[in-house]
């Protein structure tokens, strides 16, 4: 029997037949795994606990002939229950799942597992602003996919300066100097912090709250632009 054990995070669940579900997991070493959980929609199913959203589980599967394996046992390792205890966090959590599912459709690399796992960990911390975690998620996603925005030089290869206003050129992935309104350098500083630090570290530094909505706007639009993410 071609059986294997892996850790996984549920990224998608689709109902199948009377009582089954096809679950898509993200795993650290096997990439995206699809498995059928038989009878899981019945109340007494032993598989149900290990296929909860916003959790990490140990899974045992049997390799199928096609693309779909059969899940034979699940054990919940950790459930990020604060995510579903707060509607803004729940919305962000589903957003992350949908994006990771979309970007891993054609290619997969191990970094996606740690991205979603860490994003859930941060989202689960009630004292951390969910919007900061959302910005961090987009920053890491752009980094993994090779679309890191340039935050030192503007579109003319001039260094970004303090006390200036900038617009963001999405096709160039860089800021451009604005003569009138635009994003302040505080937004650029926050975007730089996001490239090097975790939401928890940035939260400890503080002083980023005002720049957060603008950074979120740029980063989510960048992800939409480059990764064709439709919302």
Q: How near is the Cβ of 209 to other proteins at its closest, in Å?
A: 14
Q: Which is nearer to other proteins, 62 or 88 (CB)?
A: 88
Query: Under the criterion CB under 8 A, does residue 19 sit at the interface with other proteins?
Result: no
* Contacting other proteins within 127-166 (CB under 8 A): 131, 134
Query: Under the criterion CB under 8 A, does residue 231 sit at the interface with other proteins?
Result: yes
Q: How near is the Cβ of 13 to other proteins at its closest, in Å?
A: 6
What is the rounded distance in angstroms from the CA atom of residue 212 to the CA atom of residue 24? 32
Count residues binding other proteins (CB under 8 A).
15
Q: Which is nearer to other proteins, 9 or 160 (CB)?
A: 9
HEC states along 73-113? EEEEEEECHHHHCCHHHHHHHHHHHHHHHHHCCCCCCCHHH
Q: Which is nearer to other proteins, 43 or 106 (CB)?
A: 43
Q: Which is nearer to other proteins, 160 or 214 (CB)?
A: 214
Q: Which is nearer to other proteins, 51 or 160 (CB)?
A: 51
Q: How near is the Cβ of 131 to other proteins at its closest, in Å?
A: 8
CB under 8 Å, gap of 24 or more: what pairs does 117-123 form?
A: 117/9, 117/56, 118/198, 120/9, 120/54, 120/56, 120/80, 120/83, 120/93, 120/96, 121/80, 122/198, 122/199, 122/200, 123/80, 123/82, 123/83, 123/89, 123/92, 123/93, 123/96
**Count of other CB atoms within 10 angstroms of residue 29:** 8
Contact pattern for other proteins over residues 82 through 101, marking x by CB under 8 A:
--x--xx-xxx-xx------
What is the rounded distance in angstroms from the CA atom of residue 25 to the CA atom of residue 113? 10
Q: How near is the Cβ of 14 to other proteins at its closest, in Å?
A: 5
Q: Which is nearer to other proteins, 96 or 175 (CB)?
A: 96
Q: Which is nearer to other proteins, 83 or 191 (CB)?
A: 83
**Count of other CB atoms within 10 angstroms of residue 34:** 17
Contact 228, 152 (CB under 8 A): no
Which position has the token pair 């941060």?
A: 122
* Contacting other proteins within 51-80 (CB under 8 A): 53
Q: How near is the Cβ of 1 to other proteins at its closest, in Å?
A: 30
Which of 118, 75, 127, 58 has its CA nearest to residue 93?
118
Q: How near is the Cβ of 130 to other proteins at its closest, in Å?
A: 8
Name the site residues for other proteins (rule: CB under 8 A). Answer: 13-15, 53, 84, 87-88, 90-92, 94-95, 131, 134, 231
């Amino acid at each position: 029997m071609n059986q294997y054990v892996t850790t996984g995070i549920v990224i998608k669940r689709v109902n199948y037949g009377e009582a089954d579900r096809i679950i898509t997991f993200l795993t650290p070493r096997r990439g995206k795994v699809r498995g059928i959980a038989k009878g899981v929609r019945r109340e007494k199913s032993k598989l149900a606990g290990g296929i909860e959203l916003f959790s990490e589980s140990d899974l045992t599967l049997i390799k199928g002939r096609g693309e779909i394996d059969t899940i034979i046992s699940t054990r919940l390792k950790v459930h990020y229950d604060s995510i579903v205890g707060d509607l803004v966090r729940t919305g962000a959590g589903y957003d992350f799942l949908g994006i990771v599912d979309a970007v891993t459709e054609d290619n997969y690399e191990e970094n996606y597992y740690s991205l979603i796992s860490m994003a859930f960990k941060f989202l689960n911390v009630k004292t951390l602003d969910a919007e900061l975690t959302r910005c961090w998620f987009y920053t890491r996603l752009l980094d993994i996919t090779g679309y890191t925005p340039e935050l030192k030089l503007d579109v003319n290869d001039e260094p970004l300066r303090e006390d200036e206003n900038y617009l963001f050129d999405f096709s160039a992935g860089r800021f451009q100097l604005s003569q009138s309104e635009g994003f302040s350098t505080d937004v650029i500083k926050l975007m730089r912090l996001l490239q090097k630090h975790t939401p928890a570290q940035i939260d400890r530094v503080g002083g980023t709250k005002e720049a957060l909505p603008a950074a979120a706007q740029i980063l989510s639009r960048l992800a939409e632009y480059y990764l064709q993410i439709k919302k």
